Structure 1
Amino acid sequence: MFGNIVDFLSRGENIAFFICALLAIGGAIFMLSFTKVVHMVVAVALTFISLAGLYIVLEAEFVAVVQILIYAGAISILMIFGIMMTKHTKEEEEEPKRPWHNGLLFVGAAGLFGIIFYAIQKSQLPSGEYPSMQDNTMEIGKLLFSNHVIPFELMSVLLTVAFIGAIIVAKREED
């Protein structure tokens, strides 16, 4: 069993996949655990960047760049809504501490990890090298700027209008 783990970790791309996967899962867990909006947004950003790292490991560079570009804009809009439209004047009310709750969460997460690890170890996966597409980013770019140029431009206008609208709504609430 541990021989399989050593074989798995012997390749650099597997280590990168493992690190990006842990960061993505950790960012998602932190986002659900934090109570301050800024901390939640940073955790979501960590998750999105880790997902872009996973796309790079899977040789989908275009999707990785789009992941960073699109969600960087989405996170900036989320920060504007979250920070400018929430009240920060009163102190946060603390929830009553439940120490057994965190223990049960840890036991549940460890059990789920164990089940998934066991299922992966017992599954029969096909072996061999799969040829990757040569220069998939160029082919996507050709399609995007020839056949789908109008939807592409409409999406850029939509994102710009959403960003400006978020600023206007936030400023109107402030006044």
Structure 2
Amino acid sequence: MTGEFVAFFVLSVFAIGGAVFMINFTKVVHMVISMAATMLSVAGIFFLLNAEFVAVVQVLIYSGAVTILMLFGIMLTRHTGEETPTRRPLHRGLSFVAVAVLFAFLMWGINTTPFPGEAADVSTFTVENIGLTVFKQFVIPFELLSVLLLVALVGAIILAKKEAE
């Protein structure tokens, strides 16, 4: 048992646990925090796979920006304190059985599928090449996307202020 295996096991347990907690929590803030824990765990798994760029992007974009954006959305909207608890033990049991069957089917498919053994040439996929591609070939869509996100953020703030008044 190597340290890499232990780190992978711990990170995967945190990722799965955060996802399960996100589904089961009732308060939105708790859901966002558990989602951030899941995203950070996935970034750790990317680090273990020697995909440092993807891991850093995962932390910056998903764990940082998306989580903060969701928290802003929560803070800018009104919430009522009324919650009606639903109790469906049969529904939970059937859901658990369906998930177990799906998991078994996916594991069977993964174990019986012959994957090709050839490795890709990773020397051409560097961070420098990604940056050159984004900022030379796709600079106009990149800038249009940033303007679109800025307009959406300003529009959300204006709509939230109108509701408050």
- Range of TM-score over shorter length: 0.7 to 0.9
Match of 1:142 among 121, 132, 137: 132
| Letter paired with 1:44 | M
**Cα deviation, residue 28, structure 1:** 1.8
**Gap runs ≥5 in structure 1:** 1-8
Distance 2:141 2:160 in 1: 28
Residue in structure 2 matched with residue 3 of structure 1 by the alignment:
none
> Is the contact made by 1:80 and 1:166 (CA closer than 8 Å) also made in structure 2?
no
CA 1:63–1:54: 2 relative to 1, 3 Å: same
Normalised by the size of structure 2, how large is the TM-score? 0.72
Q: 1:80 aligns with which of 61, 68, 72?
A: 72
**Residues of 1 paired with 2:61 and 2:137: CA distance?**
21
TM-score w.r.t. the length of structure 1 is 0.69
1:94-140 deviations in Å (ceiling 9; x for gaps) = 22x34565556556656665666677677777889987537722221
Whichever residue aligns with residue 34 of structure 1, its letter is F
> C-alpha offsets along residues 6-64 of structure 1, whole Å, 9 cap, x if unaligned?
xxx4251x333333322222222212111111111112222222222222222222222
Partner of 1:17, secondary structure, is helix
Deviates more, 1:29-38 or 1:162-171: 162-171
- In 2, the alpha carbon distance for the partners of 1:100 and 1:74 equals 35
1: CA distance, partners of 2:158 / 2:7: 41
RMSD (Å) for aligned C-alpha atoms:
3.2
The question of 1:54 aligning with 2:36 is answered: no
Output the amino acid matched with 2:138: H
Q: Which runs of 5+ in 2 are unaligned?
A: none
Aligned length: 164
Q: Which has the higher contact order (CA 8 A, sep 6+)?
A: 1
CA distance in 2, matches of 1:27, 1:70: 18
Give distance in 2, aligned partners of 1:113 and 1:20. Answer: 19
**Residue 11 to residue 63, structure 1, CA distance change in 2 (3 Å):** same
Identity, % of aligned positions = 43
Question: Is the counterpart of residue 31 in structure 1 residue 22 in structure 2?
Answer: yes
